[in-house]
Amino acid sequence: MKVLAIAFATLMLVLTASAQNDSLEVNGNYMFSHYSSNNVSNNIGAGWDANLNIPLFSSKGLGLLADFSGAFAGADLDNVHLFTYGGGFQYTIRHSDAFQPYVNVTMGDASFHTNFTGVNKLYFSPGGGVDFHVAGGWWVRGGVNYIHTGLDGQGINGVRIIGGLTYRF
C-alpha cells in the first residue's frame, strides 16, 4: 500500500509539472488481438487499451507512456483474460496539425487468467500508428502493436490492432 501511495504521489507531481506543456495525452481504444504459440493461433475480438503519455524534458515529441489493456476470449478458450500493465516511451512526430505518426515501446506485467489458473509474466510491446486531428484537443487514433510474452515456458507472440480517441491537453 505504501508503494501505491508513493507511485500515486509521483504521478501527481509529474502531471502537475507537465500541465504547463500542451501535449499531455489521455487515450482510450477498442482493441482486436491475435495471439499465437506452438502453432496454435487465436483471435480475441473483445478488448480495450488505455494510456497516458506524459511529455519529458519539455519535448513535444518524447513522452513517458503508461499503458493498460484487457483482452477477453470466450468459453471455447476457457474464458481467457489477458491484462497488461506497463510503462515505456512514446515518440510523436508533431510536424502536422492534421495527422501525427507515433512509435512506442512498453514493458510490464502480462496477467493471464482462465477458468482454471492465473499467472503473471513479463511482456514487451513495440508499436506505432497515426493520430488524426478532429477538433480542439480531440484526435482519432489508429495503431498496431506487437506483443511478446511467455506462459509455461512457451513464447507467446501477438498483434494488437487499436482504434480510439485521444485527448491532448
Angle at 23 between CA 20 and CA 28, to 5 degrees: 125
Q: What pLDDT is attached to residue 163?
A: 96
CA 114 to chain centre: 22
Mean residue pLDDT across the chain: 83
Q: What pLDDT is attached to residue 14?
A: 52
Q: Name the helix (H) or strand (E) containing 91.
A: strand 81-92
Q: What pLDDT is attached to residue 114?
A: 76
Residue 71 in grid coordinates:
483482452
What percent of the chain has pLDDT above 70?
83
Total-model pTM: 0.79
Pairwise pLDDT comparison (101 vs 13), residue with the higher score: 101
Q: What pLDDT is attached to residue 42?
A: 77
Lowest mean pLDDT among 14-23, 35-44, 45-54, 73-82: 14-23
As a whole number, mean pLDDT of residues 62-85 equals 83
Q: What pLDDT is attached to residue 77?
A: 56
Q: Provide the 3-class DSSP secondary structure of residue 65.
A: strand
Evaluate whether 122 touches 155 at the Cβ level (below 8 Å).
no
Instruction: Inform me whether the pLDDT recorded for 121 exceeds 50.
Output: yes
Q: Name the helix (H) or strand (E) containing 118.
A: strand 118-135
**Domains in the chain, start-ordered, CATH in brackets?**
2-168 (2.40.160.20)
Residue 84 in grid coordinates:
497488461
Per-residue pLDDT tens digits for 1-43: 554 455 554 554 554 444 444 579 999 999 998 888 777 777 7
Q: What pLDDT is attached to residue 143?
A: 97
